[in-house]
Amino acid sequence: MLYDSVGEDLYAGLLLAQEAGVWTMDFEGRPFDGKPPTPYILACRPEDRETICRLVLWKGDDPC
């Protein structure tokens, strides 16, 4: 999970993660596709996406 990361760290880390097959998404569960409106990004193994999404976004309803 990244919170308020600066561009120099953010994009290098995201590129490494994505090339390794890691799922990257914003805090709403949408796939990361460039520059986010806020610097809050999640990264996890593809098979863990729903679990991580539920943990971060849980508000009583299933967000994913």
CA dist 41 and 26 (Å) reads: 5
18 within a domain of the structure (yes/no): yes
- Cα–Cα distance measured from residue 64 to residue 57, given in angstroms and rounded to the nearest whole number: 9
Residue 36, pLDDT > 70, answer no
Strand-pairing partners, residue 41, are 2, 26
Hey, is 54 helix, strand or coil?
Answer: helix
What is the arithmetic mean of pLDDT over 18-32? 82
62 within some domain? no
Asked if residue 37 belongs to a domain, the reply is yes
CATH of the domain at 45: 3.40.190.80
Provide the 3-class DSSP secondary structure of residue 6.
coil
Domain range for 37 is 2-57
Q: Is the pLDDT of residue 47 over 70?
A: yes
pLDDT(54) > 60: yes
Show the tokens assigned to 49.
């996406």
State the total domains in the chain: 1
Q: Please state the pTM of the whole predicted model.
A: 0.56
Regarding predicted confidence, which is higher, 18 or 60? 18
Judge contact between 24 and 18, C-beta under 8 A.
yes
